[in-house]
Amino acid sequence: MTLTPLQKREGTAKITFLVTLAVFAQEVTWNFYDAQVPPLLLAHLGSAALVGLCMGMDNVLGLFVQPFMANRSDNTRTSWGRRMPYLMVGMPLAALVFLTVPLVASSLPMLITAIFFYGLITNGFKSISESLMPDFLPPERRSRGNAAVKIASGLTSIVAALLSILVVDEHPTAAFFIPAAMMLVAVAVLGLTVRDSRSAAYQAALVEDGLPQSRSRKEIRATGTMAEILRDRDRSRLLLVAATLLFSCAWAASRSLITPYGMEALGLSRGDAGGLPLVSGLVYIALAYPIALLAERFGRLRVMVIGMITFAVALVGATAFPSQLGTMIALSIGAAGAAGFIINAAVVLWNLAPSARVLGTYTAIYNIGWGMGGFLGPFLIGAVVDVTGWRLMLVDIAVVACIAAFVVTRIAARRPSTPSPQTGALS
């Protein structure tokens, strides 16, 4: 039976909602974890550096776990699909470990053990859940699907903040049960509604499995996929990963260092400085979907470059006119620009994948680039601030963003100016 355009849109909307639900459930636990685990560690360690080291453990785990598990899912073939079996096991396990965190908080060894296993399990299915999006959606509609996921991720920070404000002080242990319950509800809904064996990418992978050239290599390994990207003379995919790492450095630094910047450069109180990014977060959520539509209309690479330049110019403007209001306006404009990159970068990488068989591995590669940038950015910008001073911090970040924009222009120079049915609008 041939589906009508309305039926196709309804199917796309349904799977977008379900994938967004999965990402929302895992991200709300992450955001609450980032907000509430540091005080538990600080009670034992008494050192901000050691707390930061423990909290960065998940980034290190992700370097190894995400590509391995995403690649395993790429090579899995079941009647349920290649992603769902891992989600149905991983998400309940993560929720269970998450629940143990406040229960073992009185013992530092037990707390670190719980943190380790939570990071291990959640990294195990993070890229897998996100890979459902390119599995189901055609290339030309992936930007708007990814925008929905990014909006959900943005909302989780608000949910986690509300839980911290309304629940933690009165019920510090029970507060962990709410995000865990959200994850369990999400996995139950997914289990009842999603069979990714029906996705277009899974069906394409089955077809490729049956080709003569595929039979001699039953599985595609993550190391082989990475090596192929490194060897490719085109360099587009490698440049995109490099741009992702660079822009992630800039974005992470602009978020994590903004409170001390407000205190040192603008003379604000700790509370007022911490509130500088609030409006920008709302702007990001409000404009994410319209920016995705613009990218599908005018080209993803073009929107990414314009967005990064907008981000950089806004930060330079904040430096030229330093004030609380001016900085909030600049961060809001910068967030709108940053959305142009954040929403579309993973989509471009998916659309550059040579086969539907490696979409999960490509998701993990993107997440590694973004995660490493988030890990390195605050440190590198902080080191520059030690030399140039807090007043120029936003300019330092803008320089990194401009370098990332230049890298993306090199990708655009290598891609055709008109979109193809296979890759969608890239440039």
Write down the pLDDT at residue 421: 37
Segments in 173-231 forming alpha helices (H) = 177-193, 200-209, 212-215, 222-231
Q: CB pairs under 8 A, 24+ apart, for 381-385?
A: 381/249, 381/250, 381/253, 381/257, 382/253, 382/257, 385/257
d(CA 188, CA 92): 9
d(CA 25, CA 181): 9
Write down the pLDDT at residue 392: 92
Write down the pLDDT at residue 49: 59
Write down the pLDDT at residue 24: 84
CA nearest neighbour of 126 among 209, 197, 66, 204: 66
Dihedral sign of CA atoms 326, 257, 316, 144 in order: negative
Buried b (16+ CB within 10 A) or exposed e, 327-357: bbbbbbbbbbbbbbbbbbbbbbbbbbbeebb
Q: In Å, how far from its chain's centre is CA 249?
A: 13
Write down the pLDDT at residue 10: 46
Mean pLDDT by 10 residues, the chain (427 residues): 42 78 82 77 74 74 85 85 89 92 91 91 87 83 83 78 75 86 89 84 80 55 81 87 94 84 84 80 89 90 95 95 91 94 92 85 89 85 86 94 95 59 45
d(CA 400, CA 405): 9
Count of alpha carbons within 13 angstroms of residue 419, beta-carbon side: 20
CA nearest neighbour of 289 among 363, 344, 359, 349: 344
Residues 6+ apart with CB under 8 A from 372: 59, 63, 245, 248
Integer angstrom CA distances of residue 338 from 212, 304, 403: 44, 8, 14
Write down the pLDDT at residue 218: 60
Write down the pLDDT at residue 384: 87
Please report, as a single letter, which amino acid is at residue 218: K
Q: Please state the pTM of the whole predicted model.
A: 0.81
